Amino acid sequence: MKYNIALLPGDGIGPEIIEQGVKVLNAISDVYSHQFEFTSALVGAAAIDATGDPYPDDTHKVCMNSDAVFFGAIGDPKYDNNPKAKVRPEQGLLRMRKKLGLYANIRPVNTFPSLTFKSPLRQDIVEGADFVVIRELTGGIYFGEPSGRSEDGRTAFDSCVYTVEEIERILKLAYDIAAKRNKRLTVVDKANVLSTSRLWREVAQRIENEYSDIETDYMFVDNAAMQLIQWPKKFDVVVTENMFGDILTDEASVITGSLGLLPSASVGVHTSVFEPIHGSYPEAAGKNIANPIATILSAALLLKSFDLNSEALAIENAVKEVIDQNYLTTDLNSDDPKTTEEVGTKIAKLVKESKSIQYAS
């Protein structure tokens, strides 16, 4: 099969980690006789520097004409440290989500047994943690209007807006995912304070009746933030609004011991986007030290979106093997660190060997 993949490396370490992801996808191509056609495009600070626009029309056309988007990271200190900058890399990410209709971000969080000691939490708390956070992406306070500052500059305001339709579609996706896992769903809101959260809960309680085989519970976001740290194993599928999801998924990421391990998928109306959850890490850019595993696991999610499940499993098993061998970058192995390129090459090699090796599922 032939698949057209848009490559959006972005900023900072983005180009380095995307290079390793492409290396692993090419290994899959060699083993399973698929054809991946890659088309690169600009986004973020790199796009601003080249065109003045963080998400140029040409980039959008590439994304729309592709079967999937493989995305690196965006962000640059020269914009981060300038509060008066009128154009920012992050605006490109938000616009991409909006124009591609990416209404759901899916972030699996699971621990690797040989790395639980790296977690800031006790091993007995994190061992066996395996859950998915589903974050609404195109509504809420990040997109609400009006938003801005008063004429005298002394007051700022943002609006949090949700419609019934936006809430229904993300909840139905969450229930569908829960049905394929352990049939447990947690809806996170702040219904004791916010009108939008009360609408979320109202819609969720109605839709819950359509999924009687799934156990549904409701949790205020502050309580959820606490329980994710105290009892991460109690969660299976979590669904929440945009800003709450942004915060909770970053909190959940530390459970595994490294931001460099967690992939994500953003799905919706048009082309889906697959990316690591971490940022552009500009301090490490060009040093060949960034962890490529989250990006490579995002490539596995990309393959699953095409129903190439055996191919995705080959990547996941190769990643598990390099972790078990402690063949890792400096964030996870400071005693004998491997480079970004070495880790990517090792995983690609293991993928190529996967047809002749019986991996455990």
Instruction: Verify whether residue 103 is a known catalytic residue.
Output: no
Q: Which of 246, 320, 349, 352 is an active site residue? A: 246
| Catalytic (active site) residue 234 | no
Buried b (16+ CB within 10 A) or exposed e, 225-263: beebeeebeebbbbbbbbbbbbebbeebbbbbbbbbbbb
Closest CA to 245 of 277, 208, 203: 277
Marked catalytic residue, from 23, 190, 338, 346: 190
Cα–Cα distance, 208 to 193 (Å, whole number): 22
Are residues 183 and 208 in contact, defined by beta-carbon separation less than 8 angstroms?
A: no
Q: Where are the beta strands (DSSP E) in the chain?
A: 2-10, 35-40, 68-73, 104-110, 130-136, 144-149, 156-159, 184-189, 215-220, 237-240, 263-267, 273-276
**Spatial CA neighbour of 106 closest among 336, 291, 273:** 273
The span from the CA of 294 to the CA of 203, in Å, is 34
Say whether 21 sits in a helix, a strand or coil. helix
Catalytic residue among 58, 176, 217, 222: 222
Check if 246 is active-site. yes
Q: Is 324 marked active-site?
A: no
For residue 269, report the phi and psi dihedrals to the nearest 5 degrees: -75, -40
Q: Are 112 and 130 in contact (CB under 8 A)?
A: no
Catalytic, 281? Answer no
What separation in angstroms does the CA of 68 have from each of 118, 259, 321? 33, 23, 27
Are 49 and 86 contacting, i.e. CB atoms less than 8 angstroms apart? no
Catalytic residues, which ones? 142, 190, 222, 246, 250
